[in-house]
Amino acid sequence: MRQPPKIVEFEITTACNLRCIHCYCMAGKKSSNELTTEEIKRVMDDLKEMGIWAFDIVGGEPFVKPDIFEVLSYGKEIGLQLMINTNGTLVDRRIIEKLKEANPTVMVGVSLEGATQELNDFVRGKGSFEKAIRGIKLFVEGGFDPVILHVINKMNWRHFEKMIDLAKKLGVKKIYVDRFIPVGRGVQSKKYLDMDDREWVAAIEHVRDVINKYKDEITFYIEENITGDPCTAGRSHASILVDGNVVPCGHFRYNKELYMGNIREKPFSEIWNSYDPEKSLPLPEVCSDCPFVKSCYGGCKAVSLHRYGSFEKQDIPLCYIRRKEKGFSLKSWGW
């Protein structure tokens, strides 16, 4: 038996009131194949039994899903730690009250792509900044401890420090930081949001510096595609898609060859225990004799596949940064 995953993400719906230009699952319409409430409860029982740390409900927008409060309440009933990622724009006092009743210990994340209307609404759509800020304030007032979910892209990385100021003003103490990867709708918008490798190096280094500066004031949850720690896909993380298919990371949503199985056919625990990440997500050859391989493992697998087209390529910006930090000569890179 393998170690259970730490976090399992679950795409509860693809329905969404927004049309963010980076959205990995191209959310908008409800999928015809969504798991039923009973199927969701069965997965939750299985995950509780496995001993995972948290079940992270994502979308689409979870608050448009009619049975969301039943699912949240079931998590409380069986003692499974839940997280919910929302765009925050539909949140009102009624939702806060229902949430408190259904699951007062759920960890809430609200997406924000910048500290200004301009930066945020470019990605998430007109009017979304104001509504998300109102939502965050309501969560704070309601006694939740929301996390701002922030994805670094070409437009916003230079303004990352302003996100910290905004979080502090809003009474938010936690920020999750991720990196833009061109998947789903992100493929069409990569000309605005993606960067070349050298700019990614600058962006990642800048974000790390800002995090370091504020680490005593804010709790940061940093995706390993920024920290440079080994990719967790299929190792301590998996995502269950809206139709029950399981992928090692949500970024492989459209790569059927990487599917681990479907929970409509087998319990998640069985799928997880028969999965071998070394086989499905192989190490690039260049990494095999690298002295840093154990602490790096080639970087983000989704970056390898979606930016360079193959797992044969390492995550070049992270590789460059690590080698630079370790004092390796970078002459051969020609940068």
Find the binding residues for ligand SF4 in span 218-277 (CB under 6 A).
Answer: 223-225, 231-233, 237, 249, 251
Q: Is 14 in the site for ligand SF4 (CB under 6 A)?
A: no
Is the Cβ–Cβ distance between 48 and 77 less than 8 Å?
A: no
Amino acid in position 39: E
Q: What are phi and psi of 289, to 5 degrees?
A: -110, 25
| Residue with Cβ nearer ligand SF4 (218 or 302) | 302
In the complex, least distance from residue 113 CB atom to ligand SF4, rounded to whole angstroms? 17
Interface with ligand SF4 (CB under 6 A), residue from 290, 306, 307, 317: 290
In the complex, least distance from residue 20 CB atom to ligand SF4, rounded to whole angstroms? 17
Scanning 106-114, 128-136, 144-152, 282-290 for contacts with ligand SF4 by CB under 6 A, the matching segment is 282-290
Interface with ligand SF4 (CB under 6 A), residue from 298, 306, 307, 313: 298
Q: How far is residue 41's CA from residue 38's CA, in Å, rounded to a whole number?
A: 5
In the complex, least distance from residue 57 CB atom to ligand SF4, rounded to whole angstroms? 18
Interface with ligand SF4 (CB under 6 A), residue from 60, 261, 302, 313: 302
Q: Is 323 in the site for ligand SF4 (CB under 6 A)?
A: yes
| Residue with Cβ nearer ligand SF4 (210 or 233) | 233
In the complex, least distance from residue 151 CB atom to ligand SF4, rounded to whole angstroms? 11
Residues 6+ apart with CB under 8 A from 170: 133, 136, 137, 140
Q: Reduced to 3 states, what is the DSSP secondary structure of residue 66? A: coil
Q: How many residues sit close enough to ligand SF4 to count as binding (CB under 6 A)?
A: 24
Q: Is 296 in the site for ligand SF4 (CB under 6 A)?
A: yes
| Residue with Cβ nearer ligand SF4 (59 or 135) | 59
| Residue with Cβ nearer ligand SF4 (121 or 178) | 178
Q: What are phi and psi of 46, to 5 degrees?
A: -65, -45
Handedness of CA 283, 289, 290, 295 (dihedral sign): positive
Cα 315 versus chain centre, distance? 18
| Residue with Cβ nearer ligand SF4 (172 or 319) | 319
Residues 6+ apart with CB under 8 A from 2: 272, 273, 275
The length of the chain in residues reads 335
> Which DSSP string corresponds to 248-274?
SSGGGTT-GGG--EETTTS-HHHHHHT
In the complex, least distance from residue 176 CB atom to ligand SF4, rounded to whole angstroms? 12
120-132 burial, b at 16+ Cβ within 10 Å, e below that, comes to bbbbbbeebbebb
In the complex, least distance from residue 305 CB atom to ligand SF4, rounded to whole angstroms? 8
Scanning 163-171, 202-210, 266-274, 300-308 for contacts with ligand SF4 by CB under 6 A, the matching segment is 300-308
Is omega for the bond preceding 60 within 30 degrees of 0, making it cis?
Answer: yes
In the complex, least distance from residue 245 CB atom to ligand SF4, rounded to whole angstroms? 16
Angle at the Cα of 91 from the Cα atoms of 66 and 8, rounded to 5 degrees: 60
Is the Cβ–Cβ distance between 201 and 247 less than 8 Å?
A: no
Q: How far is residue 303's CA from residue 84's CA, in Å, rounded to a whole number?
A: 25
Interface with ligand SF4 (CB under 6 A), residue from 62, 75, 88, 299: 299
Q: Where along the sequence are the contacts to ligand SF4 (CB under 6 A)?
A: 223-225, 231-233, 237, 249, 251, 286-287, 290, 292-293, 296, 298-302, 314, 319, 322-323
